[in-house]
Amino acid sequence: MTDVKPDYSGLKAIFFNCSLKPDNSDSHTQTLMNASIALMEGASVAVETVHVRDHELAFGVQPDMTDQGAARDDWPDVWDKVRTADILVIGTPIWLGEPSSVCRLLIERLYAMSGQLNDKGQSIYYGKVGGVVATGNEDGVKQCATSILYALSHLGCTIPPQADCGWIGPIGPGPSYGDKRDDGSIVGADNMFTQKNTTIMSWNLMHLAAMLKDGIPSYGNDRDAWKDGNRFGFENPEYR
């Protein structure tokens, strides 16, 4: 183990809070995300949080749904934040064992940009790394991570080891992460498993983002090379 704490001042992270609550300050998901944010800011990463419900995102999988008849779509402004980020973390509450409806909408809008390419002809998401934070009172942390991390990977993000963290309380109604107990302690803050996974996830996201700062080699994944039909098809021995 190295005793030298890395300085990642050249990295930028964006945290999406997909809570159903309109007020970000009362979000349990945000409370756990804040633990990861603190670790990243402590390593000099520039962090921005987006509470998805603060923005009016139209339904659809086009870059700007006003071109498709929507009265309003804030996605182009949100996309500008994603486009320049090195680290993308999606936080969601768990409902019926699955990510929130707001989270699904966000993923659909991220998918809307999957046709855009970087200057190497790769997915615009190449070089970005992705992680997941999930909170709830019933099982579903790993299910949410499975769904969200696959989506981010499919879009082109790189997923580091241990790329998710979460907290769930006893099954059924009860306190949520970050709630205060009668003695003044914070629910979930003393859970070593959550602390461990949040810390490891945060550092792995930063480590891998730093490694990918110069991008991923374009050999074999250049989409532009496929625009001329079978120019680089499987019959080409170079691509077998």
* Closest to 14 in 3D by CA, of 59, 73, 77: 77
Angle at 30 between CA 25 and CA 36, to 5 degrees: 135
How much is the pTM? 0.92
Query: What are the pLDDT digits (tens) for 148-159?
Result: 999 999 999 999
What pLDDT is recorded for position 222?
A: 86
DSSP H or E run through 165: strand 164-168
What pLDDT is recorded for position 228?
A: 62
Amino acid residing at 156: G
| Ramachandran bin of 174, using left for φ above 0, alpha for ψ from -120 to 50, beta for the remaining angles | left
For 216, the 3-state DSSP assignment is coil
Structural domains in the chain plus CATH codes? 12-239 (3.40.50.360)
Q: Beta strands 87-95 and 98-99: pairing type?
A: antiparallel
What pLDDT is recorded for position 240?
A: 45
| Residues belonging to the chain | 240
For 40, the 3-state DSSP assignment is helix
- Computed over its alpha carbons, how large is the radius of gyration of the chain? 19
What pLDDT is recorded for position 227?
A: 72
Per-residue pLDDT of the chain (240 residues; tens, 9 = 90+): 567 889 999 999 999 999 999 988 889 999 999 999 999 999 999 999 999 999 999 999 999 999 999 999 999 999 999 999 999 999 999 999 999 999 999 999 999 999 999 999 999 999 999 999 999 988 899 999 999 999 999 999 999 999 999 999 888 888 889 888 889 888 888 899 999 999 999 999 999 999 999 999 988 888 887 776 555 555 555 544
- Measured CA to CA, the distance from residue 238 to residue 233 in angstroms comes to 9
What pLDDT is recorded for position 120?
A: 93
